[in-house]
Amino acid sequence: MVDWTGLVEAAIWTIGIIVICTAVYIILRRILTPKIGPDKSKLLTRIIVLIVGVMMLNGMMVNLFNISLTVVLTSIGIIGIAVAFASQQIMQNAMAGMLISIDKRIKTNDWVEVGGTPNTNIAMVKDVQVLGTVFVDIDGREFIVPNSFLLANKVVNYTHAGMAMVTLKLTLPINNDISSIREAIMDVA
């Protein structure tokens, strides 16, 4: 069986809170606007109406449900703090991912090297995701680096530089012509 008296009481309280808050808003705006200006009166009136509304809501909750609004708000605050601490690293990586996407420091198919510990050596950017960036190194291994790590450490983008120095060790017989070998290497490069 539905307790209609409790629902009717809650509806009356809610309508009363809305009517009283609206009346307080209109009266305060008419009094304060000529004295402090429209912008400041709007802000001050909203703050006062919020305080009045919360106090009336607290009265309703205590009257109808024997629950203090202070207890409810404290519980919500504690839960909010716990969730914020738990998701801190996720939010940090998500914000870094957005900054990397907006800034375009590194893009898909760029060849980069990320400094810091561990050093990634040279790798190709496969995908920039929200929480991490996917790389493929020269051996074909795929790995993910958190985006916050990319923002906090040195990133060398060889693709943007246009060229990179490659050191090759060549072993040649002594009797070969050095000038013809140099010419062949320069033709390939």
pLDDT in tens, 76-118: 899 989 988 888 888 888 888 888 878 877 888 888 888 866 6
Q: Give the per-residue pLDDT at 116.
A: 66
- Tell me the mean pLDDT in the region 4-23: 86
Q: Give the per-residue pLDDT at 26.
A: 92
Q: Give the per-residue pLDDT at 22.
A: 92
Q: Give the per-residue pLDDT at 2.
A: 65
Residue 153 one-letter amino acid? N
Q: Give the per-residue pLDDT at 103.
A: 80
Would you give the DSSP letter of residue 111? E
* Selected residue with higher pLDDT from 19 and 73: 19
CA pair distance 15, 20, nearest whole angstrom? 9
Give the side-chain half-sphere CA count within 13 A for 172. Answer: 13
- Tell me the mean pLDDT in the region 32-56: 88
pLDDT in tens, 133-174: 999 988 888 999 998 888 888 888 888 776 666 677 777 777
**Contact predicate 120/135, CB 8 Å:** yes
Q: Give the per-residue pLDDT at 79.
A: 92
Q: Give the per-residue pLDDT at 23.
A: 93
Statement: residue 1 has pLDDT above 70? no
Would you give the DSSP letter of residue 87? T
Beta strands 142-146; 155-157: pairing state: unpaired
Strand partners, 146: 132
Give SS3 for 38. Answer: helix
